Chain A
């Protein structure tokens, strides 16, 4: 059968199964199996077992359940409440108010965690219930979280930059440094958008502060932030102080959260078990979807669909800007159906030579890739941030995707900005080589 027809068939089958209410992970496995059979590969059983074993024992993923657990523990302490109480005197006067807590906490937590699912899960567990309680618009609370959760990939450490760095033979240390400014840029874009939105939709925000807030109240508020800041500082310090690697930092984070919970008296046998079972529920869900995504990726590798699409683009002899445009579209389309990291793995061998031929800086291209992968994290039907937020809120994937749409577009703006001003990416790494 023609590859185009196979692709269309697989996409339709996936949409059909999903809309029938088949669980996401089961759907991905079924489509992967169908893909293998269509590629005339009949060892579906062996391939499933090998791919699942490989996917579920990956060292880089061990941090995920720990960060999720950390979020569950913190959710059961007074810490999340304190986070809001401490920040509200500062953010109360800013349009969009406490919605910025989502963006800022994700930005900070991203410096600890290398994955966007872990960032969205940990921060969302703390912030979403509190924002809802205070009467913030659900849609905006979810949108800001879905959008800024993706910062986990851009701000170092980052799983995807490691994958890219190894494949493209670009220094991972440089990639990490290159991600810092674009990360800040995204934070600014998200906050700017939230301010404009807040200014236009005053009716959808709780009406708390009509009067000026005194500086003493602000300073008092800061005190409430001490435990949270201490915890994050402790984890960051252990990474940059040379005590742990980023993966191991998750263990430090959980331990710190448990100690904090114990100190504030909110740790009991009951809450410990509750938090652990809560973590089991989320991490099993994500873990099994990852198993399915990995299996589907394997089928795509055998079928060669992403590779063929990349080859088709490379045959068009495009200018560098056109190439970037086409690649963005390619990644966004593939990213709807496949997990973003898989898209990179499947296409990098074809794409890198054409990127080099077009004289595009490989370091810059790495950050570009992260941005498009971030977009794929929030596009339906397969988007890991959407899955995480659906399981946190019970809201439908499409609702979450709609809420995340403005942030999807803002990442597009960021891509445009780094294309026009590549220095945003390359400036910091060049200062590094002059040491």
Chain B
């Protein structure tokens, strides 16, 4: 059988590379019975249409950035609450805590969770060095969602919407002076061309999830289903190991190209953690029961 699996990001990205390995492993272990074609970089289906395509069975599998599902249900937002889980260890723990709620929500929409791949932690890119929030006061920071907008507000900056492709030009023409994104994105877009400072605040660790259409999965025989589940387990494990190495490598690339990469000052860290607390509370208020459960599981 031939399956199609659209992914949102290009071949250089870790989640896409893992997707290729995942598809390859399934093909080998089913002796070619299940052949999954990975369509990377949104080449088959646009990122925002991938959830719908999997849900309705237009494609059998797909990968999606968890953050874009935030509007559908607050449980998806665990993925981008700043300063809640800032190390890979914590992020893994938070993911384990959120997984039952996420799976339940996906199941309601006719999808099944296969595995997740984390991105390196989101950190602060800025025109000028930042030692405390006072250094950012009044500057314009990129925001692309309600939560990044709120974060910009709390950091004393003006949230400004800029589309990803416009980022380099927005920095060089002074539309924005700061943004929070992962070192990988910085390397991909050659951030050193337009911005100088990288402060490794590790705001949050977002993930891509890979889902399969429930009906398509059920139609497979038990043995094939097991092959997929095993491959998913391997992919998730590989994801957590490789992302740490990737983060270190990307940070090194930023330094190599002349960016000033620094650890956050204790003062900045303290200020940011306070913001994290506020935003966690606000998140909890959105759905006290579900979010409360996730937080209890995470904090114990």
The listed residue (B4, B12, B48, B168) touching A173 by CB distance below 8 A is: B168
Encode B41-58 as 1/0 by CB contact (under 8 A) with A: 111111011001100111
The listed residue (B41, B46, B174, B194) touching A54 by CB distance below 8 A is: B46
B44 touches A298 (CB 8 A): yes
* Those of B166-189 within 8 Å (CB) of chain A: 166, 168-170, 172-175, 188-189
B169 touches A245 (CB 8 A): yes
Chain B residues whose CB sits within 8 angstroms of the CB of A171 once the complex forms: 168, 189-190, 193
Question: What is the size, in residues, of chain A's interface with B at 8 Å between Cβ atoms?
Answer: 43
Chain A residues whose CB sits within 8 angstroms of the CB of B46 once the complex forms: 54, 58
The listed residue (B37, B45, B173, B193) touching A50 by CB distance below 8 A is: B45
B72 CB, min distance to chain A CBs, angstroms: 17
Q: In whole angstroms, how far apart are the Cα atoms of A76 and B11 in the complex?
A: 48
Any A CB within 8 A of the CB of B10 = yes
* Those of A228-282 within 8 Å (CB) of chain B: 239-243, 245-247
B189 touches A245 (CB 8 A): no
Q: In whole angstroms, how far apart are the Cα atoms of A174 and B43 in the complex?
A: 23
Q: In whole angstroms, how far apart are the Cα atoms of A208 and B227 in the complex?
A: 79
The listed residue (A166, A242, A246, A349) touching B174 by CB distance below 8 A is: A242
B241 CB, min distance to chain A CBs, angstroms: 23
A348 touches B193 (CB 8 A): no
The listed residue (A43, A47, A53, A345) touching B41 by CB distance below 8 A is: A345
The listed residue (A50, A60, A168) touching B49 by CB distance below 8 A is: A50
A348 touches B165 (CB 8 A): no
The listed residue (B43, B56, B174) touching A301 by CB distance below 8 A is: B43
Any A CB within 8 A of the CB of B162 = yes
B204 CB, min distance to chain A CBs, angstroms: 23
Q: Check A162/B189 contact, CB under 8 A, given A168-B10, A301-B44.
A: no
A348 touches B166 (CB 8 A): no
B12 touches A169 (CB 8 A): yes
* Those of A396-434 within 8 Å (CB) of chain B: 432-433
* Those of B1-60 within 8 Å (CB) of chain A: 4, 10-12, 37, 39-46, 48-49, 52-53, 56-58
A162 touches B173 (CB 8 A): no
Nearest opposing residue in chain A for B163, CB measure: A59
Any B CB within 8 A of the CB of A165 = yes
A245 touches B44 (CB 8 A): no
A286 CB, min distance to chain B CBs, angstroms: 19
Among B10, B45, B58, the most chain A Cβ lie within 10 Å of the Cβ of: B58
* Those of A298-316 within 8 Å (CB) of chain B: 298, 301-302, 304
Q: In whole angstroms, how far apart are the Cα atoms of A383 and B141 in the complex?
A: 40
B190 touches A162 (CB 8 A): no
Any B CB within 8 A of the CB of A196 = no
Chain B residues whose CB sits within 8 angstroms of the CB of A47 once the complex forms: 58
A242 touches B173 (CB 8 A): yes
A113 CB, min distance to chain B CBs, angstroms: 15
B58 touches A46 (CB 8 A): yes
A165 touches B173 (CB 8 A): no
Q: Check A166/B41 contact, CB under 8 A, given A46-B58, A174-B193.
A: yes
B41 touches A245 (CB 8 A): no
Q: In whole angstroms, how far apart are the Cα atoms of A387 and B281 in the complex?
A: 55
Q: In whole angstroms, how far apart are the Cα atoms of A206 and B63 in the complex?
A: 61
B175 touches A242 (CB 8 A): yes
Any B CB within 8 A of the CB of A217 = no
Nearest opposing residue in chain A for B176, CB measure: A242
Q: In whole angstroms, how far apart are the Cα atoms of A73 and B183 in the complex?
A: 45
The listed residue (A167, A176, A245, A302) touching B170 by CB distance below 8 A is: A245
A246 touches B169 (CB 8 A): yes
Any B CB within 8 A of the CB of A180 = no
A301 touches B173 (CB 8 A): no
Chain A residues whose CB sits within 8 angstroms of the CB of B12 once the complex forms: 169
Q: List 29 A-B contacts (CB under 8 A).
A: A43-B58, A47-B58, A50-B52, A50-B53, A50-B58, A53-B49, A54-B45, A157-B169, A169-B10, A171-B189, A173-B168, A173-B193, A241-B173, A242-B173, A242-B175, A245-B162, A245-B166, A245-B169, A245-B170, A246-B166, A301-B39, A301-B43, A301-B44, A304-B37, A345-B41, A345-B42, A349-B10, A349-B43, A353-B11
Give me 4 other A-B pairs in contact (C-beta within 8 A), A176-B169, A239-B173 excluded.
Answer: A166-B165, A169-B10, A242-B170, A432-B193
Which of B's residues lie within 8 Å of A, judged by CB?
4, 10-12, 37, 39-46, 48-49, 52-53, 56-58, 162-166, 168-170, 172-175, 188-190, 193-194
Nearest first, the 5 A-B pairs at minimum CB distance are A242-B173, A171-B190, A173-B168, A242-B174, A162-B165
